[in-house]
Amino acid sequence: MLKPFHLRRSAAHTKLQGLAKEVGQMHMLRHFEEDEDRLNHMHLEVGPIYMDWSKHRVNEAVMKALFELAEEADWQGGIRQLFGGDPINQTESRSVLHMALRGEAHDAFHVQGVPVMPNVLATRQAMLAYADGVRTEGQVKDVVNIGIGGSDLGPLMVTKALRAEGADGPRVHFVSNVDGAHLEAVLGKIDPASTLFIVVSKTFTTQETMANAEAAKAWLADALGVTAIPNHFAAVSTNVPAAEGFGVPSAHIFGFDDWVGGRYSLWGPVGLSIACSVGSESFQALLNGAREMDRHFAGSPARQNMPLISALLGVWYREYLGFPTHVVLPYAQDLDRFPAYLQQADMESNGKYVGRDGQPVVHSTGPVVWGEAGTNGQHAFYQLLHQGTTVHPVDLIAVKEPLSQFNSHHQKLLANAIAQAEALMCGKSRAEVEEEMRDSGASEDHLASVAPHRVFEGNRPSTFILLSALDAHSLGMLIAFYEHRIFMQGLLWNVCSYDQWGVELGKALAKNILSEWQGSNSSAHHDASTSALIEKLRGA
């Protein structure tokens, strides 16, 4: 178990509160003026990832206090417990060892003293052999991943991001929503004879996934007969008996252990659809990238530690400056599902108000995470980022290597990414606006009425993350970077990052409402509003 940590009772907290009033309000440009060497000590390069964190409302005093906060929370002890297989998922009495899924034979990952790598490697080998078979035998033209949440978002995001590496693989589709339109739209595009369905569910009980899997099975049986089902279905789950009961042959079932959280699971069999798309070599490169980030995180001192620094900046903004959200802006169309993936990873992990000691926390916890691929977002919500009344710190993620055959597009894309970071920080003063307007011949009346609207106060923080290429290795590193950032923030915020009790109530109530609707339960009591909605749908 991770020790409870009471952020507001720490010595660093008082310092940070004071600093928030001074440094937190200073314009970042002043920091650049006062410290010519700022960029030198506020950037990091780890393998193919360059992170510039100089455009933040921090100076040496703030960073020193933030590092002290991390020390008080015993961040290194936390890492030792995580990698050591301690049951830090305390409410479920489980270890948290997704790092083992990208481990190598000599890595010493243990759960309750038992080494896990032999099993992990055997499953990886079987799963990759199966995926390569799907790719090379040529009968499968379409793979449909049926799953939701962590059994969907990670594989979907990675498969999209590695579009180029998957160009010679089968087409991969994702069905998650219990809205039948999702399944219908995919079934309309595929031929049952050349389709493989992969049912992915850690529990193999999730309502949405089971409904979609049953419907897909019926659709296939209708077209090809029930005897065809075993050949067209594979399954991934910790609940192997349930997958067998569904009708998937044991040879096509890939199990994993409960010490892998759903939202951290793409590295193992949950990534089967990724492997079918890109092949075993690229999948292994994805794992190697993540492992490189694991080693960086576990082995680097605070001032060189990318996930720790990013986590501390997030805590500074959320707790000390009161900024409620964190924006993720990938300047890569192929990463357009990255914000959605990160929403689950971060918000399902750290969106909690009860601390590790079972008491409600008195400080803020995880921010709202949101975002969109650039430049699309620029033409939608950046207005608010630049001139809204609340500051929203952003991560801009860009890729140096062109992402398509259209090289000049890439230059435009990157120019926009860099320009946004500059605009967010520098803004535009009233004097600059007036000069510009006078130069373009504006009348003094027009200037007086319009100039205030054209002023950008700036001082809006951003981290610039530049990948050398959007390949499997760099992507693996990027995802693991965010996983560890989430871990560090959860440690500081004193929450249990690896459970998700907050999603259970809605699931249970939906079951009740459904059985009421279908007439098998008439005893449920609801508030007047809920009852009226149910009645409306019943047509009464």
- For ligand F6P, the closer of residues 24 and 149 by Cβ is 149
Q: Under the criterion CB under 6 A, does residue 268 sit at the interface with ligand F6P?
A: no
Residue 324 DSSP SS3: coil
The span from the CA of 373 to the CA of 378, in Å, is 9
- What's the closest the beta carbon of residue 213 comes to ligand F6P, in angstroms? 10
Longest dimension (CA), the chain: 81
Q: In 8-59, where does DSSP find H-type helix?
A: 11-22, 28-34, 38-41
Enter the DSSP assignment of 263.
G
How far apart are CB 469 and ligand F6P at their closest, in Å?
29
The single residue of 504, 507, 511, 535 carrying the catalytic annotation is 507
**E-strand spans in 341-451?**
368-371, 394-399
Q: Catalytic one among 348, 352, 410, 484?
A: 348
Is 43 one of the catalytic residues? no
Instruction: Give the one residue of 24, 103, 150, 314 binding ligand F6P; rule: CB under 6 A.
Output: 150
Q: In whole angstroms, what is the distance from residue 116 CA to residue 107 CA?
A: 9
Q: Look at residues 51, 54, 75 and name the one whose alpha carbon lies nearest to residue 63.
A: 54
Total number of residues shown for the chain = 540
Binding mask 473-502 for ligand F6P (x = CB under 6 A): ---------------------------x--
- Give how far Cα 396 sits from Cα of 331, 369, 496, 530, Å: 7, 13, 28, 42
Q: Candidates 138-146, 172-180, 197-205, 288-296 — which segment interacts with ligand F6P by CB under 6 A?
A: 197-205
Report the side by side order of strands in the sheet with 394-399.
43-46, 49-52, 462-467, 394-399, 325-331, 368-371
Interacting residues with ligand F6P between 245 and 264 (CB under 6 A): 262-263
| Among 7, 44, 148, 290, interactor with ligand F6P by CB under 6 A | 148
Total number of residues that touch ligand F6P (CB under 6 A): 14
Q: Judged by CB under 6 A, does residue 154 bind ligand F6P?
A: no
In this complex, which beta carbon is closest to ligand F6P, that of residue 149 or of residue 371? Answer: 149
Q: Which amino acid is it at 479?
A: I
How many Cβ atoms are within 10 Å of 254's Cβ, its own excluded? 25
Place of tokens 């809920």: 530
CA distance 247 to 270: 19
Asked if 503 interacts with ligand F6P (CB under 6 A), we say yes
Q: Which of 145, 209, 375, 463 touches ligand F6P by CB under 6 A?
A: 209
Question: Is residue 310 within 8 Å of 230, Cβ to Cβ?
Answer: no
Is 507 considered catalytic here? Answer: yes
Stretch that binds ligand F6P, among 195-203, 224-232, 354-362, 527-535 (CB under 6 A): 195-203
- Judged by CB under 6 A, which stretch of 144-152, 297-305, 382-390, 429-437 contacts ligand F6P? 144-152
Residue 371 has phi, psi (to 5 degrees) of 160, -175
Answer yes or no: 511 catalytic: no
Residue 448 or 503 having the CB closest to ligand F6P:
503
**202 part of the interface to ligand F6P, by CB under 6 A:** yes
Catalytic residue among 3, 141, 379, 409: 379
End-to-end CA distance of the chain: 52
Nearer to ligand F6P, 151 or 497 (CB): 151
Answer yes or no whether residue 371 interacts with ligand F6P by CB under 6 A. no
When binding is defined by CB under 6 A, the residue of 17, 203, 416, 468 that contacts ligand F6P is 203
Burial string for 357-373 (b: 16+ CB within 10 Å, else e) reads eeeebebbbbbebbbbb
Q: Note whether 427 binds ligand F6P by CB under 6 A.
A: no
Q: What are the catalytic residues?
A: 348, 379, 507
Binding site for ligand F6P (CB under 6 A): 148-151, 201-203, 206, 209, 262-263, 348, 500, 503
